[in-house]
Amino acid sequence: MSGARRKQNYDEDDEIQQKRRRGAPLINEVEKKLQEVIGRVGDKNSGSSVEGNLEQLTKFLHDDLDNYRASIVDIVAGCAIYLPNRVTVYTTLVGLLNSKNFNFGGDVVEKLIAEQQDLLEKQKYQEAQNLAIFLCDLGNCGVLTLQSIGEYLESLVAAAYEDDMPQVRTDFYIQTVLRCLPWIGKELTEKAQEQMENITQAIGKYLEQRNKDHVSLLQVWHNTELDQEDYLESLSAQVEVLRQANWLEAHIPRHYVAFESTLQDALQHNLPSFSAPAHTEEMIYPYPLVVFRLFDTNDCTDEQQPLPGGHSIERLLFECEIAWIIEKNQMNRKACARELLAFCQRQSRRFRNEEIFRLPVSREMSLRHESIIMH
pLDDT, tens only, 5-56 = 444 454 555 554 554 444 444 457 878 888 888 988 887 666 679 999 999 9
Give the Cα separation of 201 and 319 in Å (integer). Answer: 27
Mean pLDDT calculated for residue range 314-318? 83
Domains of the chain: 26-210+251-273 (1.25.40.180)
Tell me which of 57 and 333 has the higher pLDDT: 57
Mean pLDDT calculated for residue range 244-261? 94
pLDDT value at position 29? Answer: 80
Judged by DSSP in three states, 317 sits in helix
**Cis check: omega of the bond before 360, within 30 degrees of 0:** yes
Answer whether residue 199 shows pLDDT above 70: yes
Instruction: Give the chain's mean pLDDT.
Output: 83
Q: What angle do CA 126, 287, 116 make, to 5 degrees?
A: 25
- The answer to whether the beta carbons of residues 46 and 53 sit under 8 Å apart is yes
The rounded percent of the chain whose pLDDT value lies above 90 is 57
Answer whether residue 279 shows pLDDT above 90: yes
pLDDT value at position 47? Answer: 64
Q: What confidence category does residue 141 fall into, taking pLDDT thresholds of 50, 70 and 90?
A: very high
* Cα–Cα distance list, 260 to 90, 92, 137, 141, 208 (Å): 15, 10, 14, 8, 39
For 329-352, how does the pLDDT look when each residue is reduced to its tens digit (9 = 90+)?
Answer: 777 778 887 877 777 766 655 555
- The answer to whether the beta carbons of residues 90 and 76 sit under 8 Å apart is yes
Mean pLDDT calculated for residue range 138-142? 97
